[in-house]
């Protein structure tokens, strides 16, 4: 495993080792010796169909979550937005392709909103999180907010009703200022 720094403070790409043979593969997903973040009390896995778009999700207050995102099957366009007001990259978006083939993962520190678009018929995304899910403290930004200026890979998007109702970045800045 190898850590690759980005130009967003604390946002890291993790290049994983994938051991293949004629039976399949074994992929090293996480090592606290490499990532040096040993507090992930909560994990979950999502499945998404092709053209699914999820996010931008985050939790508020003392329940913010650092996330370690891995694609076990399929391919996603993973996007994060820096919502830390004192950050040099506040309001900026970072995008990366994560897939079972490229064996890249993304460590997202607290203070970011997270979204992703699914390319394949079946996409399985595995997360490690630094805090438990608290529905009452969940919030997010609308992935279709024109102020974000994101060109998603498809116009035929599958988005939940809940995600369509999320606020704009402008409203976030007005209501919360930062995470």
The strand pairing partners of 15, in sequence order, are 2, 104
| Residue tagged active-site, from 44, 107, 116, 127 | 127
Query: 105: part of which helix (H) or strand (E)?
Result: strand 104-108
Residue 114 is among the residues annotated as catalytic for this protein: no
- Name the residue among 74, 46, 55 with its Cα closest to residue 116: 55
Query: 80: part of which helix (H) or strand (E)?
Result: strand 75-82
Burial class (CB within 10 angstroms; exposed 0-12, middle 13-18, buried 19+) of 160? exposed
| Residue tagged active-site, from 30, 37, 44, 57 | 57
Which two three-digit tokens encode residue 137?
């403290």
Calpha distance 176→179 (Å, rounded): 7
Calpha distance 156→173 (Å, rounded): 29
Residue 127 is among the residues annotated as catalytic for this protein: yes
| Alpha-carbon separation of residue 174 from 51, 105, 162 (angstroms) | 31, 32, 21
Catalytic residue numbers, as ranges: 57, 127
């Amino acid at each position: 495993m190898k850590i690759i720094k980005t130009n967003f403070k604390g946002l890291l790409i993790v290049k994983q080792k994938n051991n293949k043979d004629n039976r399949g593969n074994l992929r090293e997903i996480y090592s606290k010796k490499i990532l040096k973040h040993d507090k992930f009390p909560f994990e979950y896995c999502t499945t998404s169909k092709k053209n699914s778009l999820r996010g931008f999700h985050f939790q508020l207050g003392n329940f913010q979550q650092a996330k370690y995102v891995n694609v076990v099957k399929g391919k996603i366009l993973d996007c994060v937005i820096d919502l830390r007001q004192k950050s040099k990259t506040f309001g900026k978006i970072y995008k990366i392709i994560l897939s079972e083939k490229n064996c890249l993962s993304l460590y997202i520190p607290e203070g970011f909103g997270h979204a992703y678009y699914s390319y394949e018929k079946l996409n399985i995304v595995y997360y490690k999180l630094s805090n438990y899910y608290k529905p009452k403290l969940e919030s997010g930004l609308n992935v279709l907010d024109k102020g974000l200026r994101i060109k998603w890979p498809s116009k035929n998007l599958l988005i939940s009703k809940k995600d369509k109702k999320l606020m704009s970045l402008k409203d976030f800045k007005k209501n919360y200022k930062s995470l």
